[in-house]
Structure formats: structure tokens, C-alpha cells
Amino acid sequence: MNGNFPDDEVAANRALWDARAQAHGTTPNDMLYDVDSFLAGRQTLYGIELELAGDVTGQDVLHLQCHFGMDTLNWARLGARVTGVDFSSTAIVRARELAKLAGLTADFVEADTQNLPSGLASRFDLVIATYGVLCWISDLDAWMRGAEMALRPGGRLVLVDLHPAYQTLASYEPLVADWPYGGGEPQREVVTNTYADPDLPMTAQEVVQYPHSVGEIVTAAAGSGLIIDRLGEHTEAEFPGSRILPEGPDGTRRFPFSDTYLPILYSLRARSPRAATA
């Protein structure tokens, strides 16, 4: 967390997300990005972020690492004025196209969330980022400073992400953990598929991810000046991306451990320390 995010690592990850942005939502077996049902009105947001964000009607919302904009545009459907940020030029092009198809108004900005443009400063009531976010970030401090910078006085950050304990898992049956719990050291691997459609063959791409513990994430948020008012750890996940875990009869997935469950997700809500003006 020292302010360095090497260009080669960013470039490698950008190449992966360019490819995923091109592929997602284009195959019949895509588990997460069904564009047709989205255009027909499907809501892609989940209960945790909806609860933490509250009513966004009339609010300015900044969605960090927005991919090709499906969730961003669902915030617009809920009445927000939305801006999405992603470092993939392919994702931004597709997001703008999707907004036109959906008849929704949104701004999309191509930028690294570790180095947000100064033009976003103090413009937003809510900054939101969800699911598969911080494992791609080498500098938590820079990311949190950017989120705080973008908030208006009294504005809020809502972050919902995969729990570091869950991210250590390579498989559940058999139980194999082969990823560090935290520390932020770069973890390199070659990826040949995508979580949205695991059977879709993709060109092999080396990527770099960064393990961050809950303590490191909270410390980075506090260090940016944000005031944390809620930290949650969640033992259930509604989305199909955690498919290495068993699915229950109710359609949710849990991480069984002895006679209890370990967390799959965490959520953090924080607010700008600056007082809101009347």
C-alpha cells in the first residue's frame, strides 16, 4: 500500500478485462450478464448493497470498477444520476452502448480507480463498488483516497466484496486453500476462462491479484479519513459466482465449517468526515 501500481501489472490485468468485457453477456450460458433480460427490466443488484445504499433517488452515484455498466445502469433505474469508472476501454465502449439500448442516462469514464481524475472530486453522494473489487488493487490507500476524494461532504462509500477468508479457497471438496489471507503481495497466475461462463474458452492471459485482509481494508479506509459506520461479514451469497461452494435448497451458497459457516462476503459503509452543509 505504498502508492505504487506497476504499469506491467495494470496492463496485464487490463488485457484480461478487455477480453472479458468483449465476451460477457454474449453467450447463452453466461450466468451473470444476461443482456436481454436486463434490457427487459431485470434488476442485477443484490440485497446487501441495496440495504446499505438506501434510497438513491435524485442522488449522484459513482460506481467504481463498473465493467460494462449493467449494475451502474440499474442504479439509474432506481432514480440515481450515475457515473461508472473502469480501466478497460472495451468495457467503457460497451457500457455506453448498453445505456443507449436501455434508454438510460449515464456517464462512463475510462480511468484506473487507483488514480481517479480530479474532475470527479466532491461530486457524489454515494460511491459504490461491489463483488470482485479489491483483489485487483495493488494500492488500497490510493483506492480509498480516491473514493473519499469523490464524495461530497457527508457522502457515503458502500463496498461489498468477496471475503478474504473465502478468497483463500482453491476448492471446497476437497478443502484446499492456496492463496494468502492478506499482505498485498502480487499473486500471478495464467487465466484461461471467465467466471461468468467457465466453459467459454478464452486466450490464456497472465494476471496479477493482491490479497488484502479485512484489517488491511478497514485500516486503509480509516487512513483516507473516511468514518466507518458499518462493517458486516456475510455467510450467504445469492450470486452464482461462488460456484465452488455447495448450493442450498434456497439457491444461496454457504461455506460450511464444522457446525457453522464461514463468511463469503464482507460489506463496509463509511462516510466523508466533512460535514454536510445545509
- Predicted pLDDT of residue 276: 55
Cβ-Cβ contacts under 8 Å for 105 (sequence gap 6 or more): 76, 81, 99
Q: Does the pTM of the predicted model rise above 0.85?
A: yes
CA–CA gap between residue 275 and residue 231 (Å, rounded): 22
Q: Could you read off the pLDDT of 175-231 as tens digits, one per residue?
A: 888 899 999 999 999 988 888 888 888 889 899 999 999 999 999 999 999 999 999
Q: Could you read off the pLDDT of 85-107 as tens digits, one per residue?
A: 999 999 999 999 999 999 999 99
CA–CA gap between residue 165 and residue 150 (Å, rounded): 29
Residue type at position 60? D
- Predicted pLDDT of residue 174: 85
Q: Could you read off the pLDDT of 24-64 as tens digits, one per residue?
A: 988 888 888 999 999 999 999 999 999 999 999 999 999 99
Contact 31, 241 (CB under 8 A): yes
